[in-house]
Every structure is written in C-alpha cells, then in structure tokens.
Amino acid sequence: MKSNDDSRAGHKAILGRLSDYFGFKLSENGSVLSVENVYCMTNQKAFAYHRSNTSLIHHLQRAHDSKSDPCVFIC
C-alpha cells in the first residue's frame, strides 16, 4: 500500500490488471464522467477506452519508460 496516492483521488480505477495505472475521472458528486475516456493516474493523460488495453499498455511502456514488464499486463 502506497501512502502517496493523491493522484487517484477523483478517479475510479478501471477493471483488470491496469487498475493500478488508469482510472475514469469522477465528477464532483462521485459519478463517472465518461466511460469512454480513461486517465493515466500518473500523469493525467487522457485516452479513449474501447475495452482493449493495448493503447494503455503502449502508453505505460513508452511514457513510463517500461518500468514494468509488459507481460505483467498481458499474460
């Protein structure tokens, strides 16, 4: 458990293995603003979300310098 997770405030984590990295943005009343857009909780970059995690994994690999083995997300 990390104590420094302020970036997750205001987000609802997506389902699956990428839930630690991406979330849906919440409105002030706590409802999901759009299920078609997810946000990287590290740098707040927005992505179109079409059930596939492929583009999200690419983002982690490229923008986050491949700190994690991609097999963690896919396998």
Residues that bind Zn ion (CB under 5 A): 40, 42-43, 63
Nearer to Zn ion, 58 or 74 (CB): 58
CA-closest candidate to residue 35, choices 11, 16, 58: 11
Nearer to Zn ion, 34 or 43 (CB): 43
Residues 56 and 52: their CA atoms lie apart, in Å, by 8
Nearer to Zn ion, 42 or 68 (CB): 42
Q: How far apart are the first and last CA of the chain?
A: 23
Shortest Å distance, C-beta 29 to Zn ion: 26
